[in-house]
Amino acid sequence: MWYSCITVKQIDDAIVAQVTTDSQSPWFSGHFPGDPILPGIAQLKMVTDIIGRALEKDLHLIGLTRIKFKKLIRPGVVLDIHANSGKQENSYSFRITSNQEKVCSGTLTLAPPYNTLVQQNQ
């Protein structure tokens, strides 16, 4: 795994997690050699994984709105992830912080994999 979960909790409608990125992650070797930062898509995947883990569901990202990247994430940084159910079905507003500074925020729309949906409808 390219990040480690320190904690993941579900409290009412909120999901709260603390993670740290692995300095040996391939995300860092390709983005950018000599000055590694975690790409935005990796941040969104991490949030998707954390929500799925908390809900005990296999979820995939199917939509994004109002995504804002505010701060670079370097290897080994501890991140706090906060997610809440959004106004729309299957949507989750989230924010990633580090040392109480906003790193990334926005809204994700998540769903089970397509083949799971097909099986459920049969």
List the catalytic residues. 31
- By the 8 A CB rule, do 58 and 52 touch? yes
The Cα 37–Cα 60 span in angstroms is: 23
Give which of 88, 91, 11, 99 is closest to 47, Cα–Cα: 91
